[in-house]
Amino acid sequence: QVQLVESGGGSVQSGGSLRLSCAVSGITLRHYTIAWFRQSPGKEREGVACTSGVDDDIYYSDSVKGRFNIVRDNAKNAVYLQMDSLKPEDTAVYYCATDGFCYSDTGARPSEYDYWGQGTQVTVSS
């Protein structure tokens, strides 16, 4: 049984940092693409970062490029999302997901991912 468990969310002020963790069990993560998505009320789920299990390509959405960093730790079967210079518009529930695709130009599409974590809330105040 594949399980993904996110942690590390919380409340920070604008300009602050958070590090999200996603612990994966039931698969050997090094063979899989993994992505971080986020969703805020009234908006569609958005792919913010992904790392390919095929060629190690990494993608960031324009909204987070230069501020977020996705790191895969295959030894721990985990993936992290380091989020710096946070903005109020980054407020959302953040999800990790695996067994999908990471496109070099458009990133990750939620409909293509089979396994999801439960999400962790990130709130950035101005």
Q: pLDDT by residue (tens digit) across 15-44?
A: 999 999 999 999 999 999 999 999 999 999
Does the pLDDT at position 56 exceed 90?
Answer: no
pLDDT grade, residue 55 (50/70/90)?
confident
pLDDT grade, residue 114 (50/70/90)?
very high
pLDDT grade, residue 50 (50/70/90)?
very high
| 64-90 confidence digits (pLDDT tens) | 999 999 999 999 999 999 999 999 999
pLDDT grade, residue 54 (50/70/90)?
confident
Question: Long-range contacts: 5-11, Cβ < 8 Å, 24+?
Answer: 5/117, 5/118, 6/94, 6/95, 6/96, 6/117, 6/118, 6/119, 6/120, 7/120, 8/120, 9/94, 9/120, 9/121, 9/122, 10/121, 10/122, 10/123, 11/123, 11/124, 11/125
